[in-house]
Amino acid sequence: MLITLSELGGAQTAVALLLPGLVGQFEVTLAAQGSGPLHDAAEAAGARYVELRHVRRPIDPWHDALALVELIRLCRKVRPDIVHAHSSKMGVLGRLAAWIARVPVRLLTVHGWSFAAYDGLAGRFFLWIERLMRPLTTAVVCVAEETREQGLAARTCDLRRTVVIPNAVDVRSFSAMSGGSSTAQIVGVGRFAYPKDFTTLLDALTLVAAPCHVRLAGDGPALPAVAAALTRNGLSHRVELLGARDDIPELLARSDVFVLSSRSEGFPVSVLEAMAAGLPVVATDVGGVAEAVEDGETGFLVPAADSEALARALERLVLDGELRRRLGAAGRARALSLFDVSGYRAAYGELYWRELRRSSAAEPRRRLSASTEPGE
């Protein structure tokens, strides 16, 4: 497995959750830049971890060339039967390196198409890159039906070589919300960077008149700007910035409502974690979010960049404790039925063996290398 950065993020969480389901069937190597949470996840699962030196999130021709050489050398050393790349940057470098190194199976998991997240020249550039990579890809995994439809329409994947495996969570590891506070507790979890839309969220919170306390967990380049906006908008007394946290299940259990304001998404793990914790979800209706959240049944969906609609949905839940409990219980039941970890791991295991058979590998060497990019 290959991923850009070993940090907290949705794609990383999906990879960490997958690892224990693979090590019993394959020799697994996970490679990423840094020695953060994914190093610990690999060690706990019994997988080998390789810390990459040259991979970076931003586009950098010099470092990208060095990273490609580094990945080619890694593939030739490990000699994997499968390279599995996650997300945009490592998705490109990992597939290209695997093709050059003649790895039989080259998989990509799309947590959100990069071209769909950006407008103008940047979006067209990412679209061109993905179309160039399409012939080098053995199979594409999309985390939502919406993601697959985007890829098919943009000609970045083939119908016969594309499957949908939604992200998942270990539902039973999350405790249902405990509540108990007289003031409704709203929580948001996410990287402080585009496409997360904290500007709209803060605008919405200025419109929520009902008493509530908001805690936002995460780190990223936009965090200082968000902190400044809290002071400027007079929200410092009701919004708390927690920074990066490694106790998300406990944080969710102490909350009443989960909020996600975003301009673009794939199939956010944070929403599934909130559902597993029995929280009603208020989220923007982008990407595959509607495939997780049933509007009016497990939470509320609102248009992207619509602070007034977001405020109305939040205030409705803040004021109605019984509605919060009913929607939250329905969300936990839905997560347990559709998005639990057992089915997720089984689906990937079946995909790996199916692609190995298609590659005509008579005696697979049972080594697995994969690549994943953080934060998407």
Does residue 152 sit in the same domain as residue 202?
Answer: no
CB 356 within 8 A of CB 106: no
Does residue 215 sit in the same domain as residue 323?
Answer: yes
CB 29 within 8 A of CB 367: yes
User: pLDDT tens track of the chain, all 376 residues?
Assistant: 998 877 777 888 999 999 999 998 999 999 999 888 899 999 999 999 999 999 888 888 999 999 999 999 999 999 999 999 997 889 999 999 999 999 999 999 999 998 988 889 988 999 999 999 999 999 999 999 999 999 999 999 999 999 999 999 999 999 876 656 789 999 999 999 999 999 999 999 999 999 999 999 999 999 999 999 999 999 999 999 999 998 999 999 999 999 999 999 989 999 999 999 999 999 999 999 999 999 999 999 999 999 999 999 999 999 999 999 999 999 999 999 999 999 999 999 999 999 999 987 434 455 666 555 444 4
Does residue 155 sit in the same domain as residue 302?
Answer: no
Does residue 182 sit in the same domain as residue 205?
Answer: yes
CB 106 within 8 A of CB 95: yes
- Give the Cβ contact number of residue 150 at 10 Å: 21
The answer to whether the bond into 195 is cis (omega within 30° of 0) is yes
Does residue 315 sit in the same domain as residue 205?
Answer: yes
Does residue 249 sit in the same domain as residue 267?
Answer: yes
Domain count, the chain: 2
* 23: CB partners within 8 A, 6+ apart: 45, 46, 47
CB 316 within 8 A of CB 296: no
The CATH number of residue 69's host domain is 3.40.50.2000
Residues 24-41: b if buried by 16+ CB within 10 A, e if exposed: eebbbbbbbbbebbbbeb
Does residue 210 sit in the same domain as residue 147?
Answer: no
Q: What is the pTM of this model?
A: 0.89
Find residue 186's DSSP bridge partners.
214, 257
* 6: CB partners within 8 A, 6+ apart: 12, 32, 33, 34, 35, 36, 37, 38, 39, 51, 374
Domain that holds residue 152: 2-168+340-372
Q: What is the structure's pLDDT at 180?
A: 60
Does residue 329 sit in the same domain as residue 273?
Answer: yes
Does residue 299 sit in the same domain as residue 328?
Answer: yes
